[in-house]
C-alpha cells in the first residue's frame, strides 16, 4: 500500500514583492516606468528532436535505478525525471481513463459552466500564466509563463503588459494573437460589470481587477487595472481564465461554444467520440506549444453515476483515477488491491456553504439570517457531506498553511462563537431573541430547499437533506427538492422556487481572493443569494488591492469578523480535502488546490496500463 501526500504551497509573499523584484531583474524601461520580468526556462520545456542520453545519475538517496547512462525520449522527459526520479522515466503513449458523473451540460467557458465540466476541459485551453512545475510530492509552485512568456508592471501597479509567445496555435490551426486575448478578456470584464447577461467563472478572476484591455500589436496585451492587485497573476493562472478564439466568437457566436471547443491546450475535444450518456474523449494536441508534451495520447471518460459501478470499474482497471469518496471504503480497496493502487491526499480547497435567498421572505430580514447562522449544525453537515473524506470546519478563511493561514482556528471558534459550539444552548437563546425582534415565528413558514444534483451520493444532495431536517427542527415547514444540476443552477440564478441550498465548489487556486471574488462579492459568479452588501464589497476590494501582506491580513481579519456576524447570506461550513485513488501505473499527475486543476500535460502511464 502506498500513500502519497500532495502539498500545495503558495508563495504569496513573492507575488506581493513583485514590483520590487522585477526592478532587480532588470529589463527595458518604457515611458510608464515598467520593468521586464519572467522568461521561460527553455531547459524544462524544449524537447530534443531525438532521444537524449544523460550522464550517470548521482546517488540521490531515492529508489530510482542507478545506471551509467540513461536514454530519455525527450528533453522535457529528462527534466521531469531529474525532478522526481522515483517516478521513473516518463513514457509516451497510452490513455488516462477517467469517469464523469454525467455528460458535460455545456462546454461554454464564456457562460455559466459546471465545475465538473470545467475539470474535464482544463487541458483543452490555456491561460496567460500557469503554475510552475516543481516535481516531487505532486506539487506546483509559484507562477510561470504560459502563453505569455514575459510581462512588465508599471510603477503604479495598475498597468500590466504581457508579451505573448508567437508559436501558439488553436486546435483548428489558427495562430493565437493578442486579439484573441483581448476578445476573451473583454467578455469577462463586461460580464463582471453587468453589461452582458453571461456569468462566466472568469468574471470573478479577471473582471474584479481589469478595467480595459489593449492589443497594441499582435503579440502584446496590456491590462489596465482599477487598482494595484498583488494577486493578479494568481487570478490569471486560475483554471477558469481560459483564452478562446476571437474568430470563433465573431463567426460562430457564443452559443457555438455550448457544444464545441477550440483551445490551445495539450488536449482537444473530439466531437465524434462523444456518445451521450456513455462516454467522451480528449485527444493529444500534436501542435502543443510546450515541446515534448503531453505524454498521453489522450484522456477517455466513462459516464458512471453509481458508486458501486465506479468501484468495480476502478478495481478492474477500467478507470485509472477516482475520488475516494466516490468508491466507498478506501482501506477495504487498498487491502484488496495492495500496491496496485495508491492514495493521493492533500488539504484541498473545495468549500461548502449554506446559501439563503434574500429576495424572498423570511430571509430578506437580516435578523432571520443571523438566527439561521447561529442554528445550523456545521458538524452534522460536514459529517454527512464529506462521507469520510478529509476536510475541516471553519470560516471562509481557512487557518491552515494551505492558503496562507488567514482564518480563525476551529478551537478558537468553539470557544468564542456560539455558531460553532457543539453545545447549542447559547446559539438557541440568541436565535430566539433575533426571531422575536424580527417578529417572525418559524412555525408553519414554508421553505423550499433545493440541491444541485439528484444523486443520493452527491454531497450537495446529502447536505440539502441535512439542512432541510435542521430547518424543520427550528419549526419551518420544509420541502426538499433534489434537482438535476442544470435545472438547479437555473433556479438559483432566477431566484425563484427556492429559499435555501447547500452549495459546493472547487477553488482554482488556494488563496482568499479566489472565494471573495467568486462567491461572496455582489457580482460573484456563484453568488445566487441576491444579497448586495457594500461592506463585503468594500472589504473584498481592500484585500485584493492591498500592496503589503500586513495590510492584506488586517483586511482579511476585518472581513472574517464581519461575516461571523451572520448578516450575509452565505454561511461557510467546511473545506473539503483532496483524496484520490490512483492506479500505480499512473505518474506525474498534479493538483494545484483540488481535483479541479487537472491539466495532465505531464501525466503519463507506464507499461502496466491496459491502454498501452
Burial class (CB in 10 A: 0-12, 13-18, 19+), 254: middle
pLDDT band for 593, please (50, 70, 90 cuts): low
**pLDDT reading at 327 higher than 80:** no
- pTM equals 0.75
Cβ atoms of 142 and 14 within 8 Å: the answer is yes
| Averaged pLDDT score across all residues of the chain | 83
Whether the predicted pLDDT of 545 surpasses 50: yes
Contacts 24+ apart (CB under 8 A), 159-163: 159/32, 159/34, 159/222, 159/223, 159/224, 159/225, 160/222, 160/223, 160/225, 160/232, 161/34, 161/220, 161/221, 161/222, 161/223, 162/128, 162/220, 162/221, 162/222, 162/223, 163/219, 163/220
- pLDDT, position 507: 67
Whether the Cβ atoms of residue 66 and residue 58 lie closer than 8 Å to each other = no
Which residues is 152 bridged to in the sheet? 36, 161
Q: Answer whether 190's CB lies under 8 Å from 196's CB.
A: yes
Instruction: For residue 324, give the DSSP letter.
Output: G
Residue 32 has a pLDDT of 39
Q: Say which residue, 120 or 41, is predicted with more confidence.
A: 120
Q: Please, what are the domains in the chain?
A: 9-28+103-258 (3.90.76.10), 347-576 (3.10.105.10)
Give the residue-averaged pLDDT of 161-173: 98
Rounded to the nearest 5 percent, the helix, strand and coil shares of the chain are: 35, 20, 45
User: Cis link prior to 225 (omega < 30° from 0)?
Assistant: no
pLDDT computed for residue 50 by the predictor:
38
Q: What is the pLDDT of residue 546?
A: 82
Q: What is the spatial distance between Cα 263 and Cα 241, in angstroms, rounded to a whole number?
A: 12
Q: Which stretch of 82-96, 425-439, 451-465 has the lowest confidence by average pLDDT?
A: 451-465
| 270-311 pLDDT tens trace | 999 999 999 999 999 999 999 999 999 999 999 998 888 999
- Tell which wins on pLDDT, 200 or 163: 163
Q: Residue 489 pLDDT more than 50?
A: yes
Contacts of 285 (CB under 8 A, 6+ apart): 171, 264, 265, 266, 267, 268, 294
Give the pLDDT confidence score for residue 569 in this predicted structure.
Answer: 94
User: CA-CA-CA-CA torsion for 191, 197, 200, 203, nearest 10 degrees?
Assistant: 20
CA–CA distances in Å: residue 204 to residues 373, 507, 513, 567, 597: 25, 12, 9, 22, 17
Lowest mean pLDDT among 248-252, 287-291, 321-325: 321-325
* pLDDT class of 598 with cuts at 50, 70, 90: low
Q: How confident is the model at residue 544 (pLDDT cuts 50, 70, 90)?
A: confident
pLDDT-derived band at 200 (thresholds 50, 70, 90) equals confident
Q: For position 505, what pLDDT does the model report?
A: 80
The confidence score (pLDDT) of residue 6 equals 33
**Residue 251 burial (CB count, 10 A):** 9
Check whether 506 has a pLDDT greater than 80: no
What is the per-residue pLDDT for 426? 97
Q: How far, rounded to the nearest angstrom, does the alpha carbon of residue 320 sit from its chain's CA centroid?
A: 21
pLDDT at 421 over 80: yes
Q: Which of 38-52, 318-332, 449-463 has the lowest mean pLDDT?
A: 38-52
Q: Do 201 and 507 meet the contact criterion of CB atoms below 8 Å apart? A: no
The owner of cell 487570478 is: 235
- Cell numbers at residue 470, please? 435542521
For residue 208, pLDDT over 90 is answered with no
| Mean local confidence (pLDDT), 218-227 | 95
In angstroms, the CA 272 to CA 253 distance is 22
Give the tens place of pLDDT for each residue, 338-396: 999 998 876 566 789 999 999 999 999 999 999 999 999 999 999 999 877 778 898 88
- In the chain the first and final C-alpha atoms are separated, in Å, by 24
Which of helix, strand or coil describes residue 2?
strand
Are 111 and 121 spatial neighbours (Cβ–Cβ below 8 Å)?
no
Looking at 47-56, 178-187, 244-253, 257-266, which range is the least confident one?
A: 47-56
What is the pLDDT, as a whole number, of residue 576?
79
pLDDT digits (tens, 9 = 90+) for 36-93: 344 444 333 333 333 444 443 444 444 545 444 678 999 999 999 998 899 999 999 9
Amino acid at each position: 500500500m502506498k500513500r502519497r501526500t500532495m502539498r500545495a504551497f503558495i508563495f504569496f509573499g513573492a507575488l506581493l514583492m513583485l514590483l520590487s523584484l522585477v526592478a532587480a531583474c532588470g529589463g527595458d524601461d518604457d515611458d510608464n516606468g515598467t520593468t521586464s520580468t519572467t522568461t521561460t526556462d527553455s531547459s524544462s520545456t524544449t524537447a530534443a528532436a531525438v532521444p537524449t542520453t544523460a550522464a550517470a545519475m548521482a546517488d540521490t538517496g531515492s529508489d530510482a535505478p542507478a545506471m551509467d547512462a540513461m536514454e530519455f525520449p525527450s528533453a522535457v522527459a529528462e527534466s521531469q525525471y531529474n525532478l522526481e526520479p522515483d517516478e521513473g522515466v516518463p513514457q509516451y503513449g497510452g490513455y488516462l481513463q477517467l469517469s464523469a458523473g454525467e455528460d458535460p451540460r455545456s462546454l461554454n467557458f464564456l457562460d455559466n459552466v459546471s465545475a465538473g465540466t470545467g475539470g474535464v476541459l482544463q487541458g483543452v485551453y490555456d491561460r496567460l500564466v500557469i503554475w510552475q512545475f516543481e516535481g516531487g510530492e505532486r506539487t506546483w509552485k509559484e507562477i510561470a509563463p504560459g502563453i505569455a512568456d514575459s510581462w512588465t508592471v508599471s510603477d503604479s501597479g495598475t498597468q500590466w503588459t504581457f508579451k505573448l509567445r508567437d508559436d501558439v496555435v488553436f486546435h483548428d490551426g489558427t495562430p493565437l494573437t493578442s486579439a484573441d486575448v483581448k476578445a476573451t478578456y473583454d467578455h469577462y470584464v463586461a460580464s463582471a460589470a453587468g453589461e452582458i447577461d453571461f456569468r462566466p467563472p472568469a468574471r470573478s478572476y479577471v473582471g474584479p481587477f481589469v478595467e480595459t484591455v489593449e492589443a497594441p500589436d499582435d503579440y502584446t496585451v496590456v491590462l489596465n487595472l482599477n487598482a494595484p492587485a498583488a494577486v493578479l497573476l494568481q487570478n490569471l493562472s486560475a483554471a477558469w481564465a481560459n483564452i478562446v478564439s476571437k474568430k470563433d466568437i465573431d463567426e460562430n457566436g457564443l452559443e457555438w461554444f455550448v457544444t464545441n471547443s477550440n483551445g490551445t491546450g495539450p488536449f482537444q475535444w473530439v466531437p465524434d467520440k462523444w456518445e451521450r450518456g456513455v462516454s467522451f474523449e480528449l485527444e493529444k494536441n500534436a501542435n502543443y506549444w510546450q515541446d515534448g508534451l503531453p505524454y498521453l495520447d489522450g484522456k477517455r471518460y466513462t459516464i458512471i453515476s453509481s458508486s458501486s459501478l465506479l468501484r468495480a470499474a476502478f478495481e478492474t482497471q477500467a478507470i485509472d483515477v477516482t475520488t475516494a469518496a466516490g468508491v466507498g471504503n478506501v482501506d477495504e480497496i487498498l487491502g484488496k488491491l495492495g500496491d496496485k493502487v495508491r492514495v493521493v491526499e492533500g488539504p484541498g480547497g473545495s468549500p461548502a456553504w449554506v446559501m439563503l435567498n434574500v429576495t424572498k421572505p423570511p430571509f430578506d430580514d437580516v435578523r432571520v439570517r443571523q438566527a439561521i447562522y447561529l442554528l445550523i449544525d456545521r458538524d452534522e453537515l460536514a459529517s454527512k457531506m464529506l462521507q469520510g473524506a478529509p476536510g475541516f470546519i471553519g470560516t471562509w478563511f481557512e487557518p491552515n498553511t494551505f492558503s496562507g493561514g488567514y482564518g480563525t482556528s476551529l478551537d478558537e471558534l468553539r470557544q468564542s462563537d456560539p455558531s460553532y459550539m457543539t453545545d447549542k444552548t447559547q446559539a438557541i437563546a440568541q436565535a430566539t431573541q433575533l426571531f422575536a425582534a424580527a417578529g417572525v415565528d418559524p412555525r408553519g413558514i414554508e421553505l423550499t430547499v433545493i440541491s444541485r444534483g439528484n444523486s443520493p451520493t452527491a454531497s450537495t444532495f446529502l447536505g440539502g437533506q441535512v439542512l432541510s431536517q435542521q430547518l424543520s427542527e427550528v419549526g419551518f415547514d420544509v420541502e426538499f427538492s433534489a434537482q438535476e444540476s442544470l435545472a438547479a443552477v437555473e433556479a438559483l440564478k432566477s431566484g425563484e422556487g427556492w429559499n435555501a441550498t447547500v452549495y459546493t465548489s472547487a477553488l482554482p487556486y488556494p488563496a482568499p481572493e479566489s472565494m471573495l471574488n467568486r462567491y461572496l462579492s455582489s457580482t460573484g459568479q456563484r453568488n445566487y443569494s441576491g444579497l448586495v452588501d457594500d461592506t463585503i464589497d468594500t472589504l473584498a476590494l481592500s484585500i485584493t488591492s492591498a500592496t503589503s501582506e500586513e495590510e492584506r491580513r488586517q483586511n482579511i481579519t476585518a472581513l472574517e469578523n464581519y461575516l461571523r456576524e451572520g448578516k450575509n447570506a452565505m454561511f461557510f461550513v467546511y473545506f473539503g480535502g483532496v483524496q484520490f485513488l490512483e492506479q500505480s501505473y499512473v505518474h506525474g499527475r498534479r493538483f494545484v488546490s483540488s481535483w479541479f486543476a487537472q491539466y495532465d500535460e505531464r501525466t503519463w502511464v507506464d507499461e502496466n496500463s491496459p491502454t498501452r
